[in-house]
Amino acid sequence: MANPTNNPHGHDTGAHEHGHGPEENPQVSWERKDVDIVQITGFGIGLLVAFLVSVFAMWGLFEYFKVRENNLEPANQPSMMTQKQLLPPEPRLQAEPVLELNKMRANEDMLLNSYGWVDSAKGTVHIPIDQAIDMVAQKGLPVKVSQAGADHDGYRTIPSDASGGRTLEKIAQ
């Protein structure tokens, strides 16, 4: 049960009942057993001790592992050092990725901007990309005749919000 007190905070509230001094309320108090400083301090010390024990135990364990490994494996033999270094199996990482990328781009640019044979037996050549674009722009792309508009006199239906998808469009051939 809480202990009654006049003022748990130790200062005068200034409230007076009929001018007779500070008001007393015996039902209001604070819990005096909320915090046990001895238990909190003991827990902190125990936590510190457990931490230190585990750190030193891990240090000792790793020292044991180091000694055991050194005893199991003999020192590097001279024959191991004289053997040539073997390459790892494929796929390997790129040793110089930036240089390899620059080399690949230079090869691509050379192919795109030069003349050359694709297949000399068939007479197939490649030409610079700019010249190929100009030739396609002059001649145009080949057009396949479509039967899509044959049943609607050269028109096809296209989606439209206003007509519920029944708008006709002229098909250019």
**Backbone dihedral region for residue 9 (phi beyond 0: left; psi -120 to 50: alpha; all else: beta):** alpha
* Half-sphere CA count of 131, side-chain side, radius 13 A: 8
pLDDT tier for residue 106 given thresholds of 50, 70 and 90: very high
Domain coordinates of the chain in residue numbers?
Answer: 36-72, 109-142, 145-173
Rounded CA gap, 24 and 6, in Å? 5
- pTM, two decimals, is 0.32
**Does residue 122 have a pLDDT over 70?**
yes
Answer whether residue 60 shows pLDDT above 80. yes
What is the distance, to the nearest Å, from the Cα of residue 78 to the centroid of all Cα atoms in its chain?
45
User: How close are the terminal C-alpha atoms of the chain, in Å?
Assistant: 99
Q: What is the pLDDT of residues 8-51, one digit of tens each?
A: 555 555 444 455 555 788 787 767 677 788 999 999 999 999 99
- Counting residues of the chain whose pLDDT is more than 70, the rounded percentage is 61
Angle at 91 between CA 86 and CA 93, to 5 degrees: 80
- Which runs of consecutive H residues, i.e. helices, occur in the chain? 37-72, 78-82, 97-112, 129-139
Mean pLDDT for 46-57 is: 98
The angle at the Cα of 125, spanning 124 to 127, to the nearest 5 degrees, equals 150
Tell whether the model's pLDDT for residue 76 goes beyond 70. no
